[in-house]
Amino acid sequence: MSDSVNFVLKIIVIGEPATGKTSLVKKYISGHFSQDYRASIGTNMYIKKVRLDSGEEAKIQLWDIAGQEKWIKMRHIYYRGAQGALVLGDLTREKSFDQIELFWREDLLKFCPDVPVILIANKNDLKVETPKEKVEAVGKKLEAISVIYTSAKTGDNVEQAFKTISEIVYERRIKFNPESQPSQS
């Protein structure tokens, strides 16, 4: 049998509408930034193969969850089985970070407690209207493992964001998967 196990890592991408969730995922998947904005229809799922530091190959499943009001009631269905989360704020709209504290944090606690979270401060290429202290404070409240400033437009840190969450999820997966650990008894 082959040594190369195909791990599937389910990562959800959440945050207020228009923070750049779809753009970020698309930039990562295809390297292409699409200017024309269309509200996501519910949820899109993308798959990309990644080579992990361990040398193993994993399939990363990215769930781009629409933040729009009309989809909000259904979103928890897509949270199921999530192993990691990218939570996006838009640096040009401070309110999008307030909403993470007020809304998205609760959501994570309720539907997928214990999943590793990275706070993504997106639109770094535009005029930043959100103080760094605010971003850091929201990161702390979220207990985010890391805060990463990105631009889905220029691609700045996009690869790094997905790489970081993939490695963390993979590491945790090893730790928590009893089959990959020696028996305690």
Which residue from 128, 148, 130 is spatially nearest to 139, judged by alpha carbons? 148
Q: Residue 23 interacts with Mg ion (CB under 5 A)?
A: no
Q: How many residues of this chain bind Mg ion (CB under 5 A)? A: 3
Q: Which does 83 bind (CB under 5 to 8 A by kind): ligand G3D, Mg ion, none?
A: none
Going across the sheet that includes 146-149, the strands are 43-51, 57-65, 7-15, 84-90, 117-122, 146-149
Among 29, 33, 40, 42, the residue binding Mg ion under the rule CB under 5 A is 40
Whichever of 7 and 15 has its CB closer to ligand G3D, that residue is 15
Please, what's the b/e burial string for 63-84 (b: 16 or more CB within 10 A of its CB; e: otherwise)? bbbbbeeebeeebeebbeebbb
Which residue from 168, 161, 177, 183 is spatially nearest to 5, judged by alpha carbons? 177
Full DSSP string of 108-127: HHHHSTT--EEEEEE-TTS-
Among 10, 21, 75, 105, the residue binding ligand G3D under the rule CB under 6 A is 21
Quote the least distance from Cβ 119 to ligand G3D, whole Å.
14
Taken as a whole, the chain contains a residue count of 185
Whole-angstrom Cα distance, residue 9 to residue 167? 10
Q: Residue 18 interacts with ligand G3D (CB under 6 A)?
A: yes
Whichever of 13 and 165 has its CB closer to Mg ion, that residue is 13
Q: For the chain, report the end-to-end CA distance as a whole number of angstroms.
A: 28
Quote the least distance from Cβ 26 to Mg ion, whole Å.
9
Quote the least distance from Cβ 87 to ligand G3D, whole Å.
11
Q: Residue 130 interacts with ligand G3D (CB under 6 A)?
A: no
**Residue carrying the six token digits 């629409």:** 66
Q: Which does 122 bind (CB under 5 to 8 A by kind): Mg ion, ligand G3D, none?
A: ligand G3D
Which residues of this protein are in contact with Mg ion, per CB under 5 A?
21-22, 40
Site residues (vs ligand G3D, CB under 6 A): 17-23, 35, 37, 40, 122-123, 125-126, 151-153
